[in-house]
Amino acid sequence: MSELIRVQNGIATREPIPDFLISPLLLPESLADLSWTPAEFGLQDSAWWPEENTEGELGVNKKWGAEVLTIDAARKVVKVARNQVNMTAAEKAARDALVAEQWTTQIAARRYTAEIAGTTIDGMPIDTGRDSQGLITGAAVQAIIDPEYSLHWKTSAGFVELTGQQILGVASMVRAHVQACFNREAALLDAVAEGTITAAMLDEGWPA
């Protein structure tokens, strides 16, 4: 019954329904005309009609203003809409800053997901998580120090033996994968700044 609005003498107001009219046995239709109630209750010229939202979509750079209640006597409903008023410059700036912050957070999270998702190099599935990046960097440094260095590297498909040159190649490709993720993040942040960002773009352009 909280969605019912009082109608009295052609005026609609948001007023609570009297407690004595609230009962699971009393249908909302019974509140559409209270002429049946005792005169001492003072409600014979009142009714509680359902509300119907008619305000539609909020316009660009608009905010909701005062609520307007319009009676549709033929249908016994109250049309509810809020006025749309222009946002102030300060309100628009605050909104834009909040939206940009939300996009920044989403983009950073999406970049991290792509960054650590792994990549395939010469048929080898390579983990690109932060720990794995560190291990690959360490192995690459050792390969630079000792050109004869080789190792057994564990992939999700099992161990593979890598020479020093192969280790450097893997490190280079992993670094390229990670940097491509950050490059995409930067491009999306540019789109945020330009106001051209879309939800679809969040899942586009990331390296495999």
Residue extents of the structural domains in the chain: 4-86, 89-203
- Find residue 86's DSSP bridge partners: 62
What digits encode the pLDDT tens for the residues 94-130?
A: 999 999 999 999 999 999 999 999 999 999 999 999 9
What digits encode the pLDDT tens for the residues 161-189?
A: 999 999 999 999 999 999 999 999 999 99
How sure is the predictor about 1, in pLDDT bands with cuts at 50, 70 and 90? very low
What are the distances in angstroms from CA 163 to CA 81, 151, 156, 159?
72, 7, 19, 13
Per the confidence metrics, is the pTM higher than 0.75?
Answer: no
Query: Which helix (H) or strand (E) is 179 found in, with range?
Result: helix 164-194
